[in-house]
């Protein structure tokens, strides 16, 4: 039997009617349920996930097509978004759509097991790979910033980063605090699209949490989605709350409106030293992300428009000041780490010579997981029914009964994570596990245990898909931090393996000039074709991570290569 779900015929809605209902800028909605609107489930999946990226519950700013991470967009302009929808509705199974920095530019002849969409975002020839050149092109309408999962249509709201953040905080707890974060205060800046995962991840890991954001609307959004417990505009009140909770060992989270630099300065003056200190402001983008010290949001907006160069200079100076305070707190005992936003580099440019005395989170906490091919495996229920995610959660628990860490995570996530947009789940899985999980999900679809197909993807922040010397590939054993052949090989492996859409991006996470990375999403629609594609892609993708780390000399990766038959 091929598939139950594909048997439901395409709806008779016209392209124009579809756009009025689901893609009427700035109101984007992913269709739900088992009915097809496109010509096949592969295009339908891309269509639903594209619209899901832009829907109000998920995207930070649908009006500007911004999904997360500063100016990370899903399409370049509203006209491009509309055209992408039109093309996905009519795409045949032997065609693939080409998307260049958020603009659909053509279709190529392919075949049923090839990706339906081929995406390249924000790529520049290295010599010209600067924010300055990029922003000039962007202003002229020639490019957009794709971040990681914004332009590759597999952002799933703040949950996407939640488990990675939880894993990072838990690893920090294991390494520095005997695995117990109770009675520990964690302080950070930035509660935006990604940074907004920090309060819930911290409290799930047992810590008391203080997050500082200059924009009250961002903090309110985290309260609404239950990622954050309390919000205040008052520094003294915030300190009273967190210090009392820390004393009692209560895992609560507080969001404070303010400039992170000012708050750290005040904490230093008050002699308050957090146990853990990090940052997730949009430091990767000194013009459109970070807000300089002393500026209201409105003043920042005006200067950004009237004099971007002056804005940049002020941003760099503020980051230097901010990192100066972090370094002082580190000296006083805070376990301090850079959280992948390139804050150290821009602080150095702004005049803080010791910025890189703060370590990156990947070499500190993530690399051992990468050596097992582990990374942010995620999936979404195209039916839109949360019950489908519950079914997948339970099926995974049955499939991996020995993986108590994963089971604990899934149970906490079921209880505490509010879905945004299409229901989805994230759960870090490694080599071998991902393929098994993918085939299991395809069986659930085939047997009608879930109401429509599932899509499986991942963040680009994965074991074998990124070259990012200030983040994922910082401090590689053999010094190969900046070698970007690996993400290209990852892209090629996933394209030839039959992912449903693939992407290659530049500048995600740490900004233009600092990273290159590849993404993939693969569909489980219950068909035999999906079995073949899932099996190849979900084997190859983590295998690239093991090859990359084994080649760099990591012993655990070499052992895993032997264990999984990946030696050559
Ligand atoms: P975002 O733009 O949605 O949010 C950034 C937040 O920082 C905003 O709410 C903004 O108001 C706040 N902010 C800016 N300047 C501030 C200041 N001076 N003081 C206090 N708050 C300030 O971005 P995001 O999606 O949350 O991503 C945050 C950063 O983390 C980005 O640089 C991103 O590239 C990086 N990132 C890290 C990881 C990771 O795994 N570590 C993953 C993805 C992204």
DSSP bridge partners of 17: none
Asked if 346 and 390 sit in the same domain, the reply is no
Does some domain include residue 104?
yes
Residue 144 lies in a domain: no
Atom of ligand 1 nearest to the CA of 259: 19
Element of type H or E holding 26: none
Residue 471 contacts by C-beta under 8 Å, 6 or more apart in sequence? 340, 342, 360, 361, 362, 461, 509, 510, 515
Q: Report yes or no: 77 and 65 within 8 Å, Cβ to Cβ.
A: yes
Domain-ending residue, one of 308, 339, 365: 365
pLDDT reading at 381 higher than 60: yes
Same domain, 255 and 306: yes
Would residue 5 count as lying in a domain? Answer: no
How many domains does the structure of the chain reveal?
Answer: 3
Q: Does one domain contain both 380 and 428? A: yes
Tokens of 140: 């002229």
- Residue 497 pLDDT > 60: yes
Collapsing DSSP to helix, strand or coil, 550 comes out as helix
Asked, for residue 3, whether it belongs to a domain, the answer is no
Residue 68 annotated as binding?
no
Q: Which of 365, 400, 431 is the last residue of a domain?
A: 365
Do the beta carbons of residue 118 and residue 46 sit within 8 Å? no
Quick check: is 536 in a domain? yes
Cβ–ligand 1 distance for 282 under 6 Å, the answer yes
Q: SS3 for 245?
A: helix
Residue 178 has a pLDDT of 94
Tell whether the model's pLDDT for residue 334 goes beyond 80: yes
- Evaluate if residue 5 carries a pLDDT over 80: no
Which amino acid residue places its CA nearest to atom 27 of ligand 1?
Answer: 69
> Which tens digit of pLDDT belongs to each residue from 457-489?
999 999 999 999 999 999 999 999 999 999 999
Determine the residue of 62, 289, 460 to mutate for testing ligand 1's pocket, defined as the one with the most ligand atoms within 8 A of the Cβ atom.
289
Q: Is 151 annotated as a binding residue?
A: no
Residue 154 domain flag:
no
- The yes-or-no verdict on residue 8 having pLDDT over 70 is no
State the Cα–Cα distance between residues 406 and 397, nearest whole angstrom.
Answer: 8
Q: State the Cα–Cα distance between residues 337 and 188, nearest whole angstrom.
A: 10
The CATH number that applies at residue 171 is 3.40.50.10730
Whether 398 and 342 map to the same domain: the answer is no
Cβ neighbour number for residue 218 with a 10 Å cutoff? 19
**pLDDT value for 226:** 86
Q: Which band of pLDDT confidence, cut at 50, 70 and 90, is reported for residue 9?
A: low
Whether the predicted pLDDT of 3 surpasses 70: no
| pLDDT tens digits, 285-297 | 999 999 999 999 9
Q: Are 284 and 306 within one domain?
A: yes
Whether the per-residue pLDDT at 542 is higher than 50: the answer is yes
Mark whether 417 and 434 lie in a shared domain. Answer: yes
Quick one: DSSP state of residue 11?
A: P
Rounded-to-integer distance, Cα 52 and Cα 30, Å: 5
Q: Residue 322's pLDDT is what?
A: 98
Verify that 94 and 168 share a domain, yes or no.
no
Closest by alpha carbon to 466, among 451, 476, 478?
476
Question: Are residues 182 and 282 both part of a single domain?
Answer: yes
41's tokens: 């489930």
Q: Is 427 a catalytic residue?
A: yes
In a domain, 290, yes or no: yes
471 touches 509 (CB < 8 A): yes
147 found inside a domain:
no
Rounded Cα distance between 21 and 26, Å, is: 12
- Going from the Cα of 177 to the center of ligand 1, the distance in angstroms, rounded, reads 26
Q: Which tokens is 264 given?
A: 């750290």
- C-alpha dihedral over 7, 12, 17, 20, to 10 degrees? -20
Q: What distance in angstroms lies between residue 516's CA and the mean position of ligand 1's atoms?
A: 19
In percent, the amount of the chain with pLDDT more than 70 equals 98
Question: Are residues 443 and 326 located together in one domain of the fold?
Answer: no
Q: Please report, for the domain that includes residue 431, its CATH number.
A: 3.40.1770.10
Q: Do residues 42 and 191 share a domain?
A: no
Are residue 173 and residue 317 in the same domain, yes or no?
A: yes
**Which range of residues forms the domain containing residue 407?**
373-563
Q: Which tokens sit at 242?
A: 């967190």
d(CA 452, CA 381): 7
Mean pLDDT of 160-189: 92
Q: Which ranges in 249-351 belong to alpha helices (H)?
A: 260-269, 297-306, 308-331, 343-349
Please give the residue that has the higher pLDDT: either 376 or 41: 41
Domain boundary among 365, 388, 404: 365
Torsion of CA 48, 500, 418, 228, to 10 degrees: -110
Q: Is 43 annotated as a binding residue?
A: no
C-alpha 409, offset from chain centre: 18
Mean pLDDT score across all residues of the chain = 95
pLDDT at 11: 72
- Check residue 560 and give its pLDDT: 98
pLDDT at 444 over 90: yes
Over range 400-418, report the average pLDDT.
89
In the DSSP assignment, the letter for residue 61 is B
> How many C-beta atoms lie closer than 10 Å to residue 83's C-beta?
18
What is the model's pTM?
A: 0.85
Kindly report the three-state secondary structure assignment for every residue of 429-493: ECCCHHHHHHHHHHHHHHCCCCCCCEEEEECCCCCCCEECCCCCCCCCCCCCCCCCHHHHHHHHH
The predicted structure's pLDDT at residue 194: 86
Instruction: State if residue 68 touches ligand 1 by the CB under 6 angstroms criterion.
Output: yes
Token pair listed for 493: 């492996």
Distances (CA, A) of 559 to 462, 473, 489, 562, 566: 19, 20, 22, 5, 10
pLDDT band at residue 171 under the 50/70/90 scheme: confident
pLDDT the model gives residue 198: 97
Task: Please check whether residues 414 and 278 belong to one and the same domain.
Answer: no
Q: If you measure from the C-alpha of residue 255 to the centroid of ligand 1, how many angstroms do you get, rounded to a whole number?
A: 14
Summarised one tens digit per residue, pLDDT across range 342-373 is 999 999 999 999 999 999 999 888 999 999 99
Cis peptide, bond prior to residue 26, ω within 30 of zero: yes
Where is pLDDT greater, at 71 or 226? 71
């Amino acid at each position: 039997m091929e598939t139950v779900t594909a048997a439901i015929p395409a709806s008779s809605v016209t392209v124009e009617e579809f756009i009025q209902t689901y893609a009427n800028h700035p109101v984007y909605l992913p269709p739900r349920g088992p009915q097809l609107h496109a010509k096949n489930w592969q295009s339908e999946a891309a269509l639903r996930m594209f619209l899901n990226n832009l829907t109000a519950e998920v995207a930070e700013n649908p009006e500007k097509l911004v999904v997360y991470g500063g100016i990370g967009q899903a399409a370049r302009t509203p006209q491009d978004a509309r055209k992408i929808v039109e093309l996905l509705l009519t795409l045949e199974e032997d065609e693939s759509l080409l998307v260049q920095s958020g603009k659909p530019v053509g279709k190529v002849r392919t075949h049923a097991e090839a990706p339906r969409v081929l995406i390249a975002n924000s790529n520049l020839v290295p010599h010209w790979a600067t924010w300055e050149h990029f922003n000039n092109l962007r202003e002229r309408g020639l490019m957009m910033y794709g971040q990681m999962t914004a332009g590759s249509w597999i952002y799933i709201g703040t949950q996407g980063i939640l488990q990675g953040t939880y894993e990072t905080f838990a690893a920090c707890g294991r390494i520095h605090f005997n695995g117990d974060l109770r009675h520990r205060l964690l302080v950070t800046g930035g509660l935006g699209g990604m940074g907004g995962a920090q309060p819930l991840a911290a409290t799930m890991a047992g810590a008391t949490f203080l997050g500082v954001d200059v924009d009250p609307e961002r903090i309110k959004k985290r309260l609404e989605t239950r990622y954050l417990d309390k919000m205040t505009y008052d520094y003294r009140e915030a300190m009273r709350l967190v210090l009392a909770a820390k004393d009692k060992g209560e895992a609560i989270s507080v969001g404070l409106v303010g400039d992170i630099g000012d708050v750290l300065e005040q904490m230093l003056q008050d002699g308050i030293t957090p146990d853990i200190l990090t940052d997730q402001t949009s430091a990767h983008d000194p013009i459109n992300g970070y807000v300089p010290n002393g500026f209201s949001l409105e003043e920042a907006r005006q200067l950004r428009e009237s004099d971007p160069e002056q804005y940049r200079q002020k941003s760099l100076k503020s980051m230097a000041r901010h990192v100066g305070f972090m370094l002082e707190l580190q000296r006083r005992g805070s376990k301090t780490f850079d959280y992948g936003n390139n804050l150290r580099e821009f602080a150095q440019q702004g005049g803080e010579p010791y910025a890189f005395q703060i370590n990156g989170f990947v070499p500190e906490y993530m690399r051992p997981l990468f050596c097992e091919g582990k990374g942010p495996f995620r999936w979404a229920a195209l039916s839109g029914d949360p019950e489908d995610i519950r079914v997948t959660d339970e099926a995974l628990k049955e499939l991996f009964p020995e993986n108590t860490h994963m089971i604990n995570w899934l149970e906490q996530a079921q209880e505490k994570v509010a879905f945004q947009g299409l229901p989805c789940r994230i759960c870090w899985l490694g080599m071998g596990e991902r393929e098994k999980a993918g085939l299991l999900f395809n069986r659930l679809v085939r047997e009608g245990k879930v109401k429509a197909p599932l899509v499986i993807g991942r963040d680009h922040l994965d074991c074998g898909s990124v070259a990012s010397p200030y983040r994922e590939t910082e401090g590689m054993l053999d010094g190969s931090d900046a070698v970007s052949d690996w993400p290209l090989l990852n892209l090629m492996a996933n394209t030839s393996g039959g992912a449903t859409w693939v992407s290659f991006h530049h500048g995600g996470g740490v900004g233009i000039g600092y990273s290159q990375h590849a993404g993939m999403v693969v569909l489980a629609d219950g068909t035999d074709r999906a079995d073949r594609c899932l099996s190849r892609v979900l084997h190859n993708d983590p295998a690239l991570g093991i090859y990359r780390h084994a080649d760099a000399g990591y012993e655990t990766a070499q052992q895993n290569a032997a264990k999984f038959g990946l030696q050559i």
